[in-house]
Structure 1
Amino acid sequence: MTEHVTATREEWLAARLDLLQAEKELTRRSDELARRRQALPWVRIDKAYRFDTEQGEASLADLFGGRSQLLVYHFMFGPDYKAGCPSCSALADGFDGLVVHLANHDVTLMAVSRAPLDKLLAYRQRMGWTFPWASSPDGAFAFDFNVAFTEEQQRTGDIDYNYRRAGHALDMNPAPEPIVQLAGMCGTDAPTFARDRPGLSAFALEDGVVYHTYSTYTRGLDGLWGMYQWLDRTPKGRNETGAWFRRHDEYQHG
């Protein structure tokens, strides 16, 4: 016998209609937030970032691929990782289906990491992905956009991530068990794992000039996790206990 509240169909419908009003309010609020994102001022980028891509060395402008808008997913794959972050991997499982639609709407979607390109491409092949992935070998791009930090910053606590100073689970010492677990799944220790962080940055290209328009981190990425959008509509929701997810080729199917 279930312990959850039960009701007649009529009672359920009344509760559902009440919830529908809250959902509509959330949708309108989300639309307003999207307008505010698009209204943010742009910051001109004059620094000459360099990337390694499948087509060779590239500038930030080159990553646009002839389009006027660029979305960069800062994928956690540090130089010392043996495999990509399972969390980022779960999120990236949805990229391939989106790339073609975004490209036909004047938007390029690109993952960027600090690991060498050959390591990124080998992992992409393992995962069965095809979306474009670039390496920022000197790390300047990642450091400037606050998704990579040095050992010295870790020691001093001088880490500004998600627009605040420290306070994230990745900053804790000792690291909480889920971080230790994820680090182990990447073949590294927690401090090394935590020197790279996830994020999304948006850029515009006009008259040959690149502008930074938006960045978001941590829970700001929730809307990009396809599995979470589905789980939020299930009876038990996310029902999380630690880092429950795995890379899609690591689940035990029985």
Structure 2
Amino acid sequence: MTGSTLKPAVELAKTNTTRFPNESAEYRRARQALLIEEIELRRHIERVAALRRALPPGGEVTKAYAFIGEAGRASLADLFGNKQTLIIYSYMFGPQRETLCPMCTSFMGTWEAKLPDVEQRVAFVFVARSPIARLIEAKAARGWTRHKIYSDTSGDYTRDYVSRDDADLPAYNVFTLRDGTIRHFWAGEMGRGTADPGQDPRGATDVDPLWTILDTTPEGRGTDWYPRLSY
């Protein structure tokens, strides 16, 4: 559906009959105005997703990347399994780190429960720079059972698709496998340089529902709170 065929958001908002006990007229006016913006936001999210899907073919992967998983060595093609699309989340747990990154852990802890749903359509694996034995130990300590974890022992993949300097950084990359050819499709490219003033660097849309949930509250995300490994 194209933008020209959609009803104006203000008209859709007028169909809303939701009311709550003891709300003031001031509240309802402000809430209706917010509803218009929420409708526009939903539409913008759809437009961005459509633009993403319409990207031209990305760069062909020509290097033979090798990973070590819980079952042994694996190539990039192996990580696809029987799917045509592969998501690789590179998490911050390099050899120099004593513990997992709390923010990466928050993401991965949330995704643990959703992996069976995600994997109906695409492959989703997790890569870090530490040796596989260390990754397995950390996975068990968190009680994760569904993550497919791999060690980028050589760092070749990390330097090409995460950090040229092999820094311990997170990354979200999507690859496709079509007609025997692997291509890079999309990656999160929003970071500190693209953040607005006073804003913690983040992508759009958020892949961790933690932040989306907090956005619905009067406290919001805050500016000085982050997830912890334990509470």
User: SS where residue 123 of structure 1 aligns?
Assistant: helix
Comparing 29-38 and 219-228, the one that deviates more: 219-228
CA shift at 1:9, angstroms? Answer: 2.9
Instruction: Give the structure, 1 or 2, with the largest relative contact order (CA under 8 Å, sep 6 or more).
Output: 1
Q: Which runs of 5+ in 2 are unaligned?
A: 1-21, 192-201
Question: Matched residue pairs, number?
Answer: 197
Amino acid at match of 1:17: Q
Given candidates 135, 145, 150, the residue that maps to 1:120 is 135
1:235 is matched with which residue? 218
Report the Cα distance in structure 1 between the residues aligned to 2:120 and 2:162, rounded to whole angstroms.
30
Q: How does 1:10-49 map to 2 (within 5 A)?
A: 10-42=25-57, 43-49=59-65
The residue type equivalent to 2:29 in the other structure is: A
Q: Provide the C-alpha distance between the structure 2 equivalents of 1:235 and 1:20, rounded to a whole number of angstroms.
A: 16
Is this contact kept in 2: 1:199–1:221, CA < 8 A? no
Identity %: 33
User: Following TM superposition, by how much is the alpha carbon of 1:222 offset from its aligned partner in structure 2, in angstroms?
Assistant: 5.7
Distance 2:204 2:69 in 1: 25
Query: Does the 8 Å CA contact 2:86/2:124 hold for their aligned counterparts?
Result: yes
CA distance in structure 2 between the partners assigned to 1:84 and 1:221 by the alignment: 24
Query: Where in structure 1 do 4 or more consecutive aligned residues deviate above 6 Å?
Result: none
- In structure 1, what is the Cα distance between the partners aligned to 2:134 and 2:95? 9
Q: Is contact 1:148-1:196 (8 Å) kept?
A: no
Q: Distance between the aligned counterparts of 1:99 and 1:85, measured in 2?
A: 20
Match of 1:141 among 115, 139, 157: 157
2:209 partner letter = G
The one-letter code of the counterpart of 1:23 is: E
| 1:147 CA displacement | 3.1
Unpaired runs of at least 5, structure 1: 1-6, 151-194
Q: Of the candidates 180, 197, 202, which is equivalent to residue 174 of structure 2?
A: 202
Residues 183-208 of structure 1 show CA distances to partners (whole Å, capped at 9, x for unaligned) of xxxxxxxxxxxx21111000111122
TM-score, reference length from structure 1: 0.73
* SS of equivalent to 1:118: helix
